[in-house]
Chains A and B, each alone.
Chain A
């Protein structure tokens, strides 16, 4: 599904601010893999997502998505296959438009024409029954800006799934929410992944989430993958085990992030 070969990303090359954010990553995500990605701040998790989605160009290396080389493809073209949910609940929706307008925009991938999909028979009913499932039934005409962070993130997930992406990237998508909302969104995420048998990568700071989620766990540090476990091996993981592993590999930075990582 996703092959990453010797990926390197350097920010501000040749200046005093030069930073090697991704330092040679080789990764093969199989179709159907559900991966949780953990690591301390600055370990390169979000940069990796940005490189996969094409938000910025790679310094060197190769990214192959669903059989085609997307390394130099622009972000919007890659989006054909990728669904992405950000930490910031405001990033996935257009706040000045109503919920129904947003749902039309996200209804499918690619350029649109002069159709009036919202005014087709049954379109609104269908949207309403979708919204019912996330507790927003009957609010088609409300502006998205009026929703709470949790409601907006639920809507974003719903919108992301409308177009059936092949790869779902979740960038700490529950981190900005209150605990109840975070639990609800996590539950919804797991349901979606199961029903659509998706390939998915999720960044999280919460080790408990990371251990409980999916079939594979990847830990990053200093722009490198330092742990990649699957299947039975992953099932036997515990938070203390992860921390002691991180301490043995991660070095001094870890202690600062201990609170964040253990939660």
Chain B
């Protein structure tokens, strides 16, 4: 069973990495996720049913996610709509698009077709299916993490990070911030779509409602990770998000298993997840308030010194 938590957590962590790009690196509250994760899932599901090779289907779920992100980025930058609203718009529109992709059905079962997981179980038939699933998911996650680390260490990636911290710095360097946002949100939602594509194959169906509340859950995972240690190194930031995702999924699992002892049912999980995010935000606020009062004190000291020298 423990393998199940890890596979679930790792698939989820790919989405958390996507949310990490928008919320933390770009500093853009992008809600496209709730829609693009389903787009990725639906795309992979439909393609696999139509006989596409699973790797290609997975790749297409990434591409579908990228398109969703690009649309949000263009609504946000070209029409000067706040990022939050742009994301909500895309997410809402995607609900209809996702139903179309699924052939106007709310649910698409992936029975009797080969998926990443059935393929790997066949190749590694000497291992239990749960273990082979864990191995392939771990490989995919590590590959994505390494590629993402490399990207954000490149000159382009650093510029995207700098824009998240302070947009003026890239404008001053004669770089068009619109292009950086399109790339950033595209990658973010690409990973989210890919995570959806994997999830569909793991659980054996695509569902139009599987994206509900994903952003908040992803944020919760990221924030759990941020409690573990603080860093400014991208390789540690990504590993932190992955660990946070696994912990989050483990919390859900044990909540389901033992929650009844204190009267908690799975129906309460969304409420608890939201409260967890609020708590994390409150703690972060408290920390930065301490920092701010220190900064204010320094400025005040500077002004007083200025007056004295007059």
Contact = CB atoms under 8 A, between A and B. Distances in A.
Given A80-B174, A105-B173, A163-B173, A97 B162 contact: yes
Contacts of B173: 79, 105-106, 108-110, 163
State the majority secondary structure of interface residues on A.
loop
A97 B155 contact: no
Contacts of A181: 302
Nearest to B161: A97
A105 B159 contact: yes
A167 B302 CA distance: 30
Nearest to B166: A94
Contacts of B154: 112-116
Given A90-B166, A93-B166, A109 B174 contact: yes
A64 B165 CA distance: 32
A94 B155 CA distance: 14
A177 B302 contact: yes
A113 B160 CA distance: 11
B225 to A, nearest CB: 16
B205 to A, nearest CB: 37
Contact of A96 (B153, B157, B165, B298): B165
Interface stretch (B37-45, B175-183, B212-220): B175-183
A36 interface: no
Given A96-B232, A113-B156, A119-B153, A105 B298 contact: no
Contacts of A119: 153
State the majority secondary structure of interface residues on B.
helix
A108 B161 CA distance: 16
B162 A102 contact: yes
Interface string A58-100: 0000000000000000111111100110100011111111100
A14 to B, nearest CB: 21
B151 to A, nearest CB: 7
B96 interface: no
Contacts of B177: 76
B309 interface: yes
Interface residues of B, number: 35
A40 to B, nearest CB: 19
Contacts of A110: 173-175
A148 B298 contact: yes
B175 A116 contact: no
Nearest to B153: A116
B179 A111 contact: yes
A114 B151 contact: yes
Contact of A76 (B157, B166, B175): B175
A163 B169 CA distance: 13
B290 interface: no
A93, A105, A115: most-surrounded residue (chain B CB, <10 A): A105
A146 to B, nearest CB: 10
Interface string A97-140: 11001101111111111111111000000000000000000000
B272 interface: no
B172 A92 contact: yes
A111 to B, nearest CB: 6
Nearest to B155: A112
B130 interface: no
Contacts of A79: 171-174
A112 B166 contact: no
Contacts of B310: 263
A232 B299 CA distance: 39
A76 B176 contact: yes
Contact of A84 (B161, B172, B301, B309): B172
7 contacts: A101-B161, A111-B156, A112-B155, A112-B175, A141-B232, A148-B298, A179-B305
Q: Which 6 A-B pairs have the closest CB atoms?
A: A94-B165, A178-B302, A112-B155, A94-B162, A109-B174, A79-B174
